[in-house]
Amino acid sequence: AQSVTQPDIHITVSEGASLELRCNYSYGATPYLFWYVQSPGQGLQLLLKYFSGDTLVQGIKGFEAEFKRSQSSFNLRKPSVHWSDAAEYFCAVGPASFISSGSARQLTFGSGTQLTVLP
C-alpha cells in the first residue's frame, strides 16, 4: 500500500528565509508525486508535480521540489519565503500506471505541514 509521511506538522520561518518541507513516501513502483497548497478556507491548489525525467521540478510561486529515489523523498523548497506563503502544504503520491485502461488516478495524501511566516 502506498503512504506519505510529512514529519513536520508545523514549521515557522521568518519572511525572506529559505524553506524546506519534508515528504517521504512508500510505494512499490514508480510513483507520481505532487505538492499541493491549501490556504485557509480554500481547496487545494497544485504547486508542482513529478512524473519522470529531471528530478528537480519547478512549480508555481517560486517553489521547487527534488525527487530522490534512494531516499524515497520529495522535499519542497523555496529560497525566500513571502508572507503570502503561509498555508498548509500537502504532499501526495499516486500510481504510475493504471490498473486498466481508463482507471481513475487516486492520490494518497500526507497529513500536511502548516507553515507560519513571521514578519
Partner 1 sequence: ETGVTQTPRHLVMGMTNKKSLKCEQHLGHNAMYWYKQSAKKPLELMFVYNFKEQTENNSVPSRFSPECPNSSHLFLHLHTLQPEDSALYLCASSQGQGMNTEAFFGQGTRLTVV
Q: State the Cα–Cα distance between residues 78 and 19, nearest whole angstrom.
A: 5
In eight-state DSSP terms, residue 8 is: -
Of the pair 15, 86, the CB lying nearest partner 1 is at: 86
In eight-state DSSP terms, residue 96 is: S
Of the pair 33, 81, the CB lying nearest partner 1 is at: 33
Q: How many CB atoms lie within 10 A of CB 59?
A: 18
Of the pair 12, 42, the CB lying nearest partner 1 is at: 42
SS3 17: coil
Q: State the Cα–Cα distance between residues 41 and 95, nearest whole angstrom.
A: 28
Cβ of residue 51: shortest distance to partner 1, in angstroms?
Answer: 6
Cβ of residue 12: shortest distance to partner 1, in angstroms?
Answer: 18
Residue numbers of the site for partner 1 (CB under 8 A)? 4, 34, 36, 41-46, 49, 51, 90, 98, 101-112
Of the pair 66, 88, the CB lying nearest partner 1 is at: 88
Cβ of residue 107: shortest distance to partner 1, in angstroms?
Answer: 6
Cβ of residue 5: shortest distance to partner 1, in angstroms?
Answer: 10
The residues facing 3 across adjacent strands are: 26
Three cell numbers at 102?
481508463
